[in-house]
Amino acid sequence: MNEDIVNPQPEAVMPTQQPVQPEVVTETPTVVAPKKSNKVLLIILISLFVFFGFIALIFFIVNSATKEPFKASNEFLTAFTTEDAQTVYDSTSTQFQAAVSLEEFESFQDKYMVMGLDKAKVTGKSIQTTNDSTTATLTYSLEYDSENWTIEIEMIQEGEQWKLFNMSIK
C-alpha cells in the first residue's frame, strides 16, 4: 500500500496576491473667501447715511412748505362751517375781497351749509405748492349722506399769514 494515498497531505490553498497599489493622495485646495476690506464696509455705511440724510432733508423741506398752508386751510374750513360770514370773509385775501363781495360770499356759504358741508367727513386731501411756496392749492375730498364733494382751496401768503385766494366746491 501506498502511504501517500492513505495519508494525503492537505494542500494549502493560497490566495493569489495582487500587487499592492500605491495609495493615491490628492490634496483639495482649501478655498478661502477673500477678506472684505473695512474700507468697502465704511463706504457702504457712508453711502447709506448720505442717502437717508438726503431723504430726510427732502421730507423736511416738503413738510415745511406745506405745513402752514394746510393749517390755514383747515382753520378756514372750520370757520366756514362754524362762524358767521363776516368773520370768515375777513380771513380771505385782499385779492379775494376785491373780486367777491361780502354778500356774494355769504350766499355761497349759506348754500353749502344747507347741503350739509358742516357734517361732511374728509376722506382725502392733497396739496401742491408753487411760486416759491407762496401759493398753495389744497384739494379735499368729502363725503356726506352718500354724496361726494371735492373742495379746492387756493391759499396765498400775505405777509406772514396764509389767506384764501379762491375756493370751489364740486
pLDDT tens for 73-105 read 888 888 888 888 888 899 899 999 999 999 999
Higher model confidence: residue 21 or residue 120?
A: 120
Q: Residue 7 carries which DSSP code?
A: S
Q: Residue 18 carries which DSSP code?
A: P
3-state DSSP: the chain helix, strand, coil percent, rounded to 5?
45, 25, 30
What does the pLDDT look like over 1-15, one tens digit per residue?
Answer: 555 555 556 565 565
**What pLDDT, on a 0 to 100 scale, did the predictor assign at position 19?**
64
Cell of 85: 360770514
Beta partners for 169? 151
**What pLDDT, on a 0 to 100 scale, did the predictor assign at position 12?**
57
pTM here is 0.58
The two beta strands, 121-130 and 147-158, are unpaired
Locate the domains of the chain by residue range. 68-169
68-169 CATH pick, 3.40.605.10, 3.10.450.100, 3.40.50.2000, 3.40.50.10710: 3.10.450.100
> Which range in 1-5, 28-32, 55-59 is most confidently predicted, on average pLDDT?
55-59
**Which of 27-41, 60-74, 121-135 has the lowest average pLDDT?**
27-41
Q: Residue 48 carries which DSSP code?
A: H
What does the pLDDT look like over 122-131, one tens digit per residue?
Answer: 888 888 877 6
- Computed over its alpha carbons, how large is the radius of gyration of the chain? 45
What does the pLDDT look like over 132-166, one tens digit per residue?
Answer: 778 888 898 988 888 888 889 898 988 888 898 99
